[in-house]
A = this chain, B = another copy of it.
């Protein structure tokens, strides 16, 4: 398994191999077609990224032969410029369009009544209703995406270098009194500059750079969004997040940090988070049932008396997005396997006193796991003075 960073676009062979895996599952489920509307899945199979708007893009995958792309005239050259696989184009004029020239007019005749057609659970109900044949919800492409190819791993290693740069900048800028917007701007610029220089012909429609710090007064609440002019507070824990999607590869790194000093009550809770985290890394190897990791890590926090302070799962998968299958969570009964890429980020949260969580992007290898993101992890190295 190679772990050199890759920044080149996917080859036709890489995309073809992905399609073959999708087709193997189609065959197993006796599907005549699979239809993808998700821009993520379309990107995975074609390298073309779109933003969903009122003019639909629909990828039709027949069990054999060339895939068809239903797309608006205005965007057809955009698709052709980015797609790196063979596609037959089924082009409609506009949305809306004169009678007979709408997207559904060109889409409907692609199928016949007896066809068995797989669709995504995310498929809009309105498109499903225009689809002839029997439609069956089955997330085949998501299933294939779970195990990464060597190419995808290489791209992810590069994306991790970008967020490492963002976290480095975040740790440099985060000091008492600094507003979040200053930190945000600095880290976004640092990541964007690196990505722009290193990824040839980067697709900004498949890229995103973000990050922030939650000071201790709000760090108990990881999904509240800090306001731009909120300033950094003395003490801690502050929770920080740096995430990026770099030309279609999503990763993250997160650190709990302190400013000026570590409050007395915080040290023991930081250590407890680190204990749960160490256990998660120990368990994160091929064959482990995903929910088992969450269960055992939760038990560490429960045994310490903090069951109610657990408010999220231990981790999630990465791929084209920053959040996807599989999940290190109660209820995910799949097994870890080499080529999965997940976050390991157990956390505990105390109302008004702050949250404790590190997150890294981690590759599951043949023998265990490999952390792909890098930043200080220990409390001393994460305490910053003016």
Give the B-binding residues of A (Cβ under 8 A): 53-54, 73-75, 77-78, 81, 94-99, 101-102, 119-129, 135, 137, 181, 196, 201-205, 221-225, 227-229, 311-313, 316, 321, 323-325, 327, 329-332
Contacts of A129 in B (CB 8 A): 121, 137
Contacts of A225 in B (CB 8 A): 78, 203-205
If A94-B329, A95-B329 touch, does A323 touch B121 (CB 8 Å cutoff)? no
Contacts of A101 in B (CB 8 A): 331
Contacts of A329 in B (CB 8 A): 94-97
Whether B54 contacts A324 by the Cβ 8 Å rule is yes
A121 to B104, CA, bound (A): 13
Further contacts, 17 of them, CB under 8 A, given A74-B222, A120-B125, A204-B228:
A53-B323, A54-B327, A75-B223, A94-B330, A96-B327, A96-B329, A96-B330, A97-B330, A97-B331, A98-B331, A99-B331, A122-B126, A123-B124, A123-B125, A125-B128, A126-B137, A202-B228
State the 7 A-B residue pairs at the shortest beta-carbon distance, nearest first: A121-B126, A96-B331, A98-B330, A123-B125, A78-B223, A122-B124, A75-B223
Least Cβ–Cβ distance between A107 and chain B, in angstroms: 14
Contacts of A126 in B (CB 8 A): 120-122, 137
Query: 20 A-B contacts, Cβ less than 8 Å apart?
Result: A54-B316, A74-B311, A74-B312, A77-B221, A78-B221, A78-B224, A81-B224, A94-B329, A96-B332, A97-B330, A97-B331, A98-B330, A98-B331, A101-B331, A121-B126, A121-B127, A125-B128, A196-B229, A203-B225, A205-B225
Contacts of A222 in B (CB 8 A): 74
A329 to B72, CA, bound (A): 14
Measured CB to CB, the nearest residue on chain B to A71 is B223
A221 to B119, CA, bound (A): 32
Contacts of A332 in B (CB 8 A): 96
A12 to B20, CA, bound (A): 53
Contacts of A135 in B (CB 8 A): 125
Least Cβ–Cβ distance between A191 and chain B, in angstroms: 13
Measured CB to CB, the nearest residue on chain B to A97 is B331
Measured CB to CB, the nearest residue on chain B to A212 is B204
A309 to B77, CA, bound (A): 14
Contacts of A323 in B (CB 8 A): 53-54
Whether A312 contacts B94 by the Cβ 8 Å rule is yes
Contacts of A81 in B (CB 8 A): 224
Least Cβ–Cβ distance between A134 and chain B, in angstroms: 13
A293 to B377, CA, bound (A): 62
A298 to B96, CA, bound (A): 15
Whether A313 contacts B94 by the Cβ 8 Å rule is yes
A312 to B75, CA, bound (A): 10
Measured CB to CB, the nearest residue on chain B to A130 is B121
Least Cβ–Cβ distance between A4 and chain B, in angstroms: 24
Q: Which of A121, A203, A324 gathers the greatest number of chain B CB atoms within 10 Å?
A: A121
Least Cβ–Cβ distance between A120 and chain B, in angstroms: 7
A219 to B202, CA, bound (A): 19
Least Cβ–Cβ distance between A26 and chain B, in angstroms: 18
A74 to B221, CA, bound (A): 8
If A54-B324, A125-B119, A331-B99 touch, does A196 touch B223 (CB 8 Å cutoff)? no
Whether A77 contacts B330 by the Cβ 8 Å rule is no
A96 to B332, CA, bound (A): 6
Measured CB to CB, the nearest residue on chain B to A323 is B53
A73 to B316, CA, bound (A): 16
Contacts of A95 in B (CB 8 A): 327, 329
If A121-B125, A330-B96 touch, does A227 touch B205 (CB 8 Å cutoff)? no
